[in-house]
Amino acid sequence: MSILKLPKKGKLCHIAATTEGATWMVEQLRELRDREGWDVSAIISKGNGNLSSKLRNENIPFETFDFEFPTRFVAMPILLGRVWTLSLLLRRKRFDVVQTHLFQSMVLGRLAAWLADVPVRLAMIASPYHLEADTPRWIDRATCWMESGLIPSCLYTLNLYRAMGIREGRLFLTYYGVDETRFDPVTTQAVDIRAEFGWSSTAPLIGMIAYFYPPRPATWATPPQLRNRANKRQEDFIQAAPIVLREFPDARFLLVGSGWDEDGPKEMQKMQELAARLGLEDQLRFTGFRSDVRNILKALDVSVQASIIENLGGTLESLLMNCPVVATRTGGMVDSIQDGVTGVLVNLLDPADLANGILHMLGNPDKAETFKRNGRALAIERFTLHSTITRLNTIYELLLHQAHGNRQWVQIGRWVLVLPIFALLGDRLAWSILWTRLQRRLKRL
């Protein structure tokens, strides 16, 4: 069967400073190419990871780049050199639209695309994380005028930008939608994971699907509520388990996911030790990485997301798979999990309230069934990959219609301006680093 080839609308590049994950970017590029006719490519971080394989599997061309941020003021010339190199790449490729994801690639990509005079420059905000930390928020606010527009991906992030004074005409709310064709409960077979671990076929099964991220350091780049804490909060899930077991002693718990980056496995080991101290060796299992997440969601009675800072987390996949969700009241998860309608919301950093949410699901099966129906209906209406692609294509076409770009005289003028901009950014970073070091020394006294 031949595939209809659409006329190319323009050259589109997405930039993401990661080597892992980012399935959402790959899916967006694939659909923008196949459905809307864009000539797509990507720029990702250098290093080993599964993202490059995902791009190759979808026949999406990509380049690799060093997005590492310097941590000292004396390293600012290195950062300037990287921006220069990236801007030359963007100029050579003559992209019509450049869209960044993730903070590091947003900052470097924003400066480089502005210097290269790319006609349409956009930042899609994958998480409100950097907007809740003082210095990254300041960097974003000080440079976001370089963008053609900003794409907040939940209402919370949209409102943070509004509070920063960004005018409405530059804000385009667009969710990171999930491929609804992949997460279909009708065509997906539940994995018999209870039998896999020797559990009863009737045991209530509660699971959390998330990477194990290490605790964030207490620095200028970390939101205050996350300092010295791990974001996904498998710790709270584990501490909630004994409370649930008092009412449902046959309940069983799954932590699905591997350690992220070098320190992630250490966090996973800490959680395994915590579970052992609480005597949960028989009731709770760490599965590590699983490729059958859809099948696991089909088997769960309750799906949990307990993050401190989050966009939509894993809520959409659960809703699409008709799996009842308990989630913390944070970020974009309040967009997808409407408390008492599509699921249950609980307090942050509160294992007891998390346990109450799980108990509410297990103790009210009729309500859980209602949540399942409402949740999938809402996900199909508002949070699909199809709706994301339609929205992005509309934004691109609107802004391209208004845009100018690839003007050599503009590029030269902007290089004159970039030095004072870098001096301003460098000064702020230097003071932030010095203040962090001073706070650490004061704590030691």
Contact 55, 44 (CB under 8 A): yes
pLDDT number for residue 431: 58
Beta strands 97-101 and 120-125 are parallel
Which of 253, 370, 242, 379 is CA-nearest to residue 304? 253
Tokens at 292, concatenated: 């059958």
Strand, coil or helix: 333: helix
Please state which CATH number belongs to domain 11-177+386-440. 3.40.50.2000
pLDDT number for residue 409: 61
pLDDT number for residue 217: 87
Spatial distance between the Cα atoms of 324 and 357, rounded to a whole number of angstroms:
11
pLDDT number for residue 433: 54
For the chain, which residues score pLDDT lower than 70?
1-8, 70-76, 405-406, 408-413, 415-416, 419-445
DSSP secondary structure letter of residue 215 = P
Instruction: Work out the end-to-end distance of the chain between its first and last CA atoms, rounded to an integer number of angstroms.
Output: 72
Contact 237, 253 (CB under 8 A): yes
Mutual orientation of helices 408-444 and 103-115 as an angle, nearest 10°?
Answer: 150
Tokens at 243, concatenated: 């409370």
Neighbour tally for 260: CB within 10 Å: 20
Question: What is the number of alpha carbons within 13 Å of residue 25 lying toward its C-beta?
Answer: 33
Tokens at 90, concatenated: 């963007």
The pLDDT tens digits for 365-391 are 999 999 999 999 999 999 999 999 999
Show Cβ contacts of residue 412 under 8 Å, excluding neighbours closer than 6 positions: none
Residues of the chain with CATH 3.40.50.2000: 11-177+386-440, 193-383
The pLDDT tens digits for 107-138 are 899 999 999 999 999 999 999 999 999 888 98
**Residue with tokens 């996949």, as numbered in its chain:** 317
Which CATH architecture is the domain 193-383 placed in?
3-Layer(aba) Sandwich (3.40)
Tokens at 158, concatenated: 């949209």
Would the CA dihedral through 80, 139, 348, 206 be positive or negative?
negative
Spatial distance between the Cα atoms of 7 and 156, rounded to a whole number of angstroms:
37
Contact 371, 343 (CB under 8 A): yes
pLDDT number for residue 288: 93
φ, ψ dihedrals at 229, nearest 5°: -130, 150
Contact 55, 37 (CB under 8 A): no
pLDDT number for residue 6: 47
Show Cβ contacts of residue 258 under 8 Å, excluding neighbours closer than 6 positions: 211, 212, 264, 265, 268, 288, 289
For the beta sheet containing 97-101, the strands, ordered from the edge strand earlier in sequence to the opposite edge, are 62-65, 39-45, 11-16, 97-101, 120-125, 149-152
**Residue with tokens 């339609």, as numbered in its chain:** 390
